[in-house]
Chains A and B, each alone.
Chain A
Amino acid sequence: MVTSEPLDEIVLDACRQFGPSTALSSDRIRITYGELATKVGERAAAIDRACAASPGSPRDRVGVHARNTVDYVLSYLAVLHTGRVPLLIDAAFGAQELEEIRTGCGVTAFVVDRDSADQFPLDGVVTPIDGSGHALITVAAGAEVPAMRADTAVCRFTSGTTGVPKALEFSAFAVHSAARNWVAGTGMSDADRTLCLAAFTNGLAFNTSLLSSFLVGAELYVYSGLPTSAKIVQALRSSRATRMVAFPMVYEVLVDSAVDAEAFAGLEMAISAGAPLKPKVRTEFEHRYRVRIADYYGVAEAGPCTFERDPCYRQGLGTPLPGVILRLAANSTDQSEIALHTTSMATAYLNAPGQLESRIDAEGYYATGDLGYLKDGRLFISGRVGGPINLAGRKVDPHEIELTVKDIEGVRDCVVFADQDSDDRVFLHLAVATAKPLDRTDVVAGCRGRIADYKIPQRVSFVAEIPRSSAGKVRLTDLRRLLARPATTAGRVG
């Protein structure tokens, strides 16, 4: 086991070192490093009190299921400071995902937004966390509480193909390494102000913005809500950001909008990751706003992997970051599965023992499931071996949605697959066979609140039967052919 200083101590060291500099900001608040140390201490004491006052007095792990706010960062750091392990949960997760986190991950306490605590999908006791916009909700324990690794400091979630979100266990060393590698590989400094448009539950935000900012005394501007062009411009002006971190979809929005280019004047670098960025979008964005988009490739299980440092290079996903070794076909366009060795690797899936380990070989390389090749030392991604669907940077497990739909009364069989809309964007397409008349509204209502909204299929097609092989495997080619016939895409069959 490789050890590291606890993450909260690393942040508190930064607070001592960079005292008067701004650490965290938003459109409403600005907190210096000196103030951050005080606030984290106060918040940790408040969380300790809320835990002590709650039934079952939650011990070693706390889920954080809240909107992206400055409060979120404070509660995350505070949970670390209490000595508990924070599990960063997508705020969009619904009842089914949270129930799995309760039973499969042994989480009985959740930090939530106080103003929406009454909408939390699981039954529990709400205890306000003093001095914050958060509350602690404690729920009944599941039958078994899976043991965490002794060195686990943080858990984040990823989708696979198991039908439930999987909790990745990261040691403090791995989280610290990811931040150090990002700083060293991208030249981040105390002069940087990062506007991060992704949620901290996502690796894109977690690795590029959170601890990495604090390590060098940089400023992190916290963005909340949907990334619309008007709000992004407002945030750019308010933050005077030097770096912007976003999914490719955001760059598409900015290119399609007639926003004031002057708002981008202070921006030195825009970082894109999570899904492919269309070359046309890159060219148009860089031409209009005079800001380079730097590509970043990261893997939930392995952390940040590559980054393009050369401002003149416009192809591929860059070269390996410090601490990262890639293994795949070199100097060739022959695609092979990308294997990675990083210092920021997760150690296990808390609720899927052995599954992560089974993808790591004897030399410590993780098989990503991404297909690609190296050219001029740059990584190029050409496809996927299988696994989750990439929905604008969010990974979605189709099996999880299928399980939800099959629970709807009247559904006999179904399959969820990736389709492409008229703008070439990937969306979720559900084909469903029913035993009684159902329509789109019934299906959407059956999913709403149980799974995250973004996992609800955008298109629902009703078919008499899902074509399957004798082994029960969906024959997707036949299904697509079936769906191409207008009569089978009617909204009501049964």
Chain B
Amino acid sequence: MTGTETATGRPGLREEVESLVVLATGRAVSVSDLRGCGGSLEAAGVNSIAYINLIEALDRRYHVMVDPEADLEALASVDGIVALISAARSA
């Protein structure tokens, strides 16, 4: 997988998700922080306030309704979030 192509073959989605995570943290976490942690939000230290912002952003931008409890595992990584969006788009 390259920096501009996701596992689903949708160019740029991964970068969009990374940007959303960065914005959700109010830029306290950077893209390089996130990539340095292998895309793991947990390893990057993303907190619950940022998770709330991220869930709201996913709804606004992609119309993906995330259940913070049921989708917790998917929310924990950039790959998981990309998969959530992709699944919602193909549904």
Taking a contact as CB atoms under 8 Å apart, the answer to whether A257 and B48 are in contact is no
A422–B23 Cα gap in the complex (Å)? 8
Interface residues of B in 16-33 (CB under 8 A from A): 25-29, 32-33
Interface core residue of B36, B52, B59 (most chain A CB under 10 Å): B52
Taking a contact as CB atoms under 8 Å apart, the answer to whether A421 and B37 are in contact is no
Interface residue? B5 (CB, 8 A): no
Taking a contact as CB atoms under 8 Å apart, the answer to whether B52 and A253 are in contact is yes
Interface residue? A140 (CB, 8 A): no
Interface residues of B in 24-68 (CB under 8 A from A): 25-29, 32-33, 36-37, 42-53, 55-56, 59-60, 65-66, 68
Taking a contact as CB atoms under 8 Å apart, the answer to whether B47 and A491 are in contact is no
Q: Which residues of A lie under 8 Å from residue B52 when comparing CB positions?
A: 226-228, 249, 253
How many residues on the B side are at the interface (Cβ–Cβ under 8 A)?
29
Partner of A458, one of B32, B36, B45: B45
CB contact under 8 A between A228 and B28, given known A444-B37, A458-B47, A458-B50: no
Interface residue? B73 (CB, 8 A): no
Q: Which residues of A lie under 8 Å from residue B49 when comparing CB positions?
A: 249, 391-392, 425, 454
1/0 per residue A251-291: CB within 8 Å of B? 00100111000000000000000000000000000000000
Taking a contact as CB atoms under 8 Å apart, the answer to whether B60 and A257 are in contact is yes
Q: Which residues of A lie under 8 Å from residue B42 when comparing CB positions?
A: 444, 448
Taking a contact as CB atoms under 8 Å apart, the answer to whether A257 and B56 are in contact is yes
Taking a contact as CB atoms under 8 Å apart, the answer to whether B27 and A421 are in contact is yes
Taking a contact as CB atoms under 8 Å apart, the answer to whether B59 and A226 are in contact is no
Residue of A nearest to B42 (CB): A448
Q: Which residues of B lie under 8 Å from residue A227 when comparing CB positions?
A: 52
Taking a contact as CB atoms under 8 Å apart, the answer to whether B65 and A230 are in contact is yes
Taking a contact as CB atoms under 8 Å apart, the answer to whether B50 and A228 are in contact is no
Q: Which residues of A lie under 8 Å from residue B29 when comparing CB positions?
A: 458-459
Q: Which residues of B lie under 8 Å from residue A421 when comparing CB positions?
A: 25-28
Residue of B nearest to A257 (CB): B56
Interface residue? A60 (CB, 8 A): no
Taking a contact as CB atoms under 8 Å apart, the answer to whether B65 and A456 are in contact is no
Interface residue? A457 (CB, 8 A): yes
A256–B54 Cα gap in the complex (Å)? 12
Taking a contact as CB atoms under 8 Å apart, the answer to whether B43 and A444 are in contact is yes
A257–B58 Cα gap in the complex (Å)? 11
Interface residue? A441 (CB, 8 A): yes
Interface residue? A218 (CB, 8 A): no
Interface core residue of A226, A229, A421, A460 (most chain B CB under 10 Å): A226
Interface core residue of B26, B32, B53 (most chain A CB under 10 Å): B26
Interface residue? A71 (CB, 8 A): no
Residue of B nearest to A256 (CB): B56
Taking a contact as CB atoms under 8 Å apart, the answer to whether B68 and A228 are in contact is yes
Taking a contact as CB atoms under 8 Å apart, the answer to whether A453 and B28 are in contact is no
Q: Which residues of A lie under 8 Å from residue B47 when comparing CB positions?
A: 427, 453-454, 456, 458
Interface residues of A in 201-227 (CB under 8 A from B): 225-227
CB contact under 8 A between A440 and B26, given known A257-B60, A458-B50, A491-B36: no
Residue of A nearest to B36 (CB): A491
Q: Which residues of B lie under 8 Å from residue A427 when comparing CB positions?
A: 25-26, 28, 47
A295–B70 Cα gap in the complex (Å)? 33
Taking a contact as CB atoms under 8 Å apart, the answer to whether B28 and A419 are in contact is yes
Q: Which residues of B lie under 8 Å from residue A460 when comparing CB positions?
A: 33, 45
CB contact under 8 A between A458 and B28, given known A225-B69, A425-B49: yes
A325–B66 Cα gap in the complex (Å)? 46
Shortest CB distance B58–A (Å): 10
Partner of B55, one of A228, A249, A440, A457: A228
Interface residue? A403 (CB, 8 A): no
Q: Which residues of A lie under 8 Å from residue B25 when comparing CB positions?
A: 421, 427, 458
A229–B68 Cα gap in the complex (Å)? 11
1/0 per residue B61-84: CB within 8 Å of A? 000011011000000000000000
Shortest CB distance B21–A (Å): 12
A120–B81 Cα gap in the complex (Å)? 28
Q: Which residues of A lie under 8 Å from residue B55 when comparing CB positions?
A: 226, 228
Further pairs besides A226-B48, A443-B45: 9, Cβ < 8 Å: A226-B52, A249-B52, A257-B56, A392-B49, A421-B25, A444-B44, A454-B49, A458-B25, A491-B32
Give me the interface of A with B, judged by CB distance under 8 Å.
Answer: 225-231, 249, 253, 256-258, 391-392, 419, 421-423, 425, 427, 429, 439-441, 443-445, 447-448, 453-454, 456-460, 491
11 pairs from A and B in contact (CB 8 Å cutoff): A228-B56, A253-B53, A256-B56, A391-B49, A421-B25, A421-B26, A441-B43, A447-B45, A453-B48, A460-B33, A491-B36
